[in-house]
Structures are given as structure tokens and as C-alpha cells.
Amino acid sequence: MSDTINTKQQFITPQVQEDKLELLSKKLLEANEMLKKSETQRSIMLANISHDLRAPITAIRNAVDLIMADSEMPIAELRSTIEIIDRRTRVLEDLIQDMYYLFCVEDKSRTLKKEIVSAVQFLEEFFFDATTNTIYDNHNMQIDVPVDLSVNICIDIPKMIRVLENLFVNAAKYSGDGTDIILRAECSEDKKYLNIYIEDNGIGIPGDAIEHIFDRTYTVSRARTPGKTSGSGLGLAIVSAIIEKHSGTISCHSTLGQGCSFKITLPVL
Ligand code: ADP
């Protein structure tokens, strides 16, 4: 047996060996680059998180100091200072909740609780629940899911609801009153995938920002959306992590000033 192996090895020409070594070292270099990239991303994310945590904590600390330093503070001033503490505490709560949620989704040891559902039923139920939420009162909510779209998908329902919620909330947050929010779905031509679209005709995203919006480390400049409540900046990272765990894909097409179309592709059964 070992003779056979030795004989075979003798036939491997030096050129073949060299090619193999070159391929191996190329793969090692690539793996090393990926590791470096993910380490850089992790440290940028940590720096961003520390920064995002520091701002509300500083505001809370200042407000508490103000109250403690003035035992005779008029009631109206006391009330508005406590309101600052309340608002900033909520920002902290949201940020911490989103960070923990993202950590859980990305944790490889946690599996999804998937079940088989009818795509039409799932999307319709989500949509009609969403329309009862007052945050969409000033938008034209539309659904375009063919009733004869008879495909099943295997999903973790609460997580997939979180995906659609994040995209809907963004569609409302980054669009003016009276604009449309549309949920569309269709089967891919080869019938292997379900394509879900969440579309709005709001402010849109600049071309150079689109490739970064799903990063954990990225928030499009807040200066672009004055007066808008900014979130944790992790909403789309959560969306992307959940879709990836469902073996799906997500992409975004946008024209600045004209709106966004987010496309989710999921395998059908
Ligand atoms: P945030 O908490 O900042 O909304 P997200 O991860 O949900 O974080 O979104 C990342 C960025 O992508 C946002 O800061 C926003 O600039 C941009 N964005 C996301 N969805 C939309 C949309 N529908 N229209 C315009 N911009 C959007």
C-alpha cells in the first residue's frame, strides 16, 4: 500500500508541486486578509459602541449633577431635566438591546427555530398587523403579494418579523408624510426563490453609501436626516445577519431623493 503511494508521489512533477504550494499560500493569504478585516471591523465597532454609549451617559450624568447641585430647582426645570434623563436612558436601552440581539443572531452556537409557513399568509399577516401601528399613519401602506403565490418558506417567524419590521420602520423614518411604503413579493423565474421587496419613495441613500449600510460599523451621516430620530445604527446589520442565517440574500437599490427598494431573496421549499 505504502509502495503504491510512493510510486504515485514520484510522478508529481516539481511544477505541479509548485502550483499547489502557490495555491495554498494564496489561500492562506486570503484567509489572513479576511481575519485582519474582521478584526478591524470588530475594533471599529467597539470604538463606535463606546462612542455611542458615552454620549447618552454624559447627558444623563450632567442632568443628575444639575438636580443634585440645586435642591431648590423649580418644578418645571426639574421636570424637563428628568425628561432628558428619560430620553437618553431610552437611547441607551435601545442600543444595548440591539447589540445583544445582534450578538445572539450572530452566535453560531444558537440555531434558528424554523418552521414551514405559507409565504402569502406570513406576509399578509405581517402587513395587516403593521398597518395597525400608528407610526405608519401618515404613509400610504400598500401590499402587492399575488394570492396565487403558492410557495412555502422555512423561517424563524419572530426573527423574520424583526427583519420586515426594521425595514418598514426605516422606510417610515427616512420618508416624509404622505409617501408610500410597499410590500411586494414574487417567485424567481426558476421557482427556487421567493423575492420580497420593501419599497419607499423617501429620501433615498447616496450611491457611495449603499455598499456600507449593512455593515455593523456604519451609519449614513445623521446630518442628512435632520430632525429624524436616529436608531442604534445596527438595524440593517441585524436584518442582514438574520437573512444570512436563512441562507438568503438582501440588497438595496436606491436613487437619492427618490427612495429605496430593499430586496430579500429566500429559498422556497
Ligand atoms: P439606523 O438606526 O441609523 O436607522 P440602520 O442600520 O437601520 O440604522 O440603517 C443604516 C443607515 O441606512 C441609516 O442610518 C440610514 O441613513 C440608511 N437607511 C436605511 N434604510 C433607509 C431608507 N429606507 N431610506 C433611506 N435611508 C435608509
CA 231 to ligand 1: nearest atom: 2
Of 170, 179, 205, best ligand 1 pocket probe by most atoms within 8 Å of the beta carbon: 170
Ligand 1 proximity of 163 Cβ (cutoff 6 Å): no
Say which amino acid occupies 36: K
Ligand 1 proximity of 255 Cβ (cutoff 6 Å): no
- Cβ burial, residue 124 (10 Å; 0-12/13-18/19+): middle
Q: Counting every residue, how long is the chain?
A: 269
Nearest C-alpha neighbor of 81 from the set 91, 70, 92: 70
More confident residue, 252 or 55: 252
What is the Å distance from ligand 1's center to 109 Cα? Answer: 29
Taking 50 as the threshold, does the pLDDT of residue 218 lie above it? yes
CA 225 to ligand 1: nearest atom: 16
DSSP assignment of 101-128 equals: HHHHHH-TTPPP--EEEEHHHHHHHHHH
Taking 80 as the threshold, does the pLDDT of residue 267 lie above it? yes
Ligand 1 proximity of 164 Cβ (cutoff 6 Å): no
Structure confidence by residue, pLDDT tens digits, 155-167: 999 999 999 999 9
Give the C-alpha separation, 24 to 161, whole Å.
43
What is the Å distance from ligand 1's center to 156 Cα? Answer: 24
Nearest C-alpha neighbor of 123 from the set 268, 12, 257, 238: 268
What is the Å distance from ligand 1's center to 213 Cα? Answer: 7
- Cβ burial, residue 8 (10 Å; 0-12/13-18/19+): exposed
| Atom 1 of ligand 1: nearest residue by CA position | 233
Structure confidence by residue, pLDDT tens digits, 82-114: 999 999 999 899 888 998 999 899 888 999 999
- Average pLDDT over all residues of the chain: 88
Give the C-alpha separation, 204 to 186, whole Å.
23
Tell me if the pTM is above 0.95. Answer: no
Nearest C-alpha neighbor of 246 from the set 126, 161, 171: 161
More confident residue, 160 or 13: 160
More confident residue, 216 or 192: 192
Quickly state the pLDDT bin for 185 (edges 50, 70, 90).
very high
The pLDDT assigned to 225 comes to 44
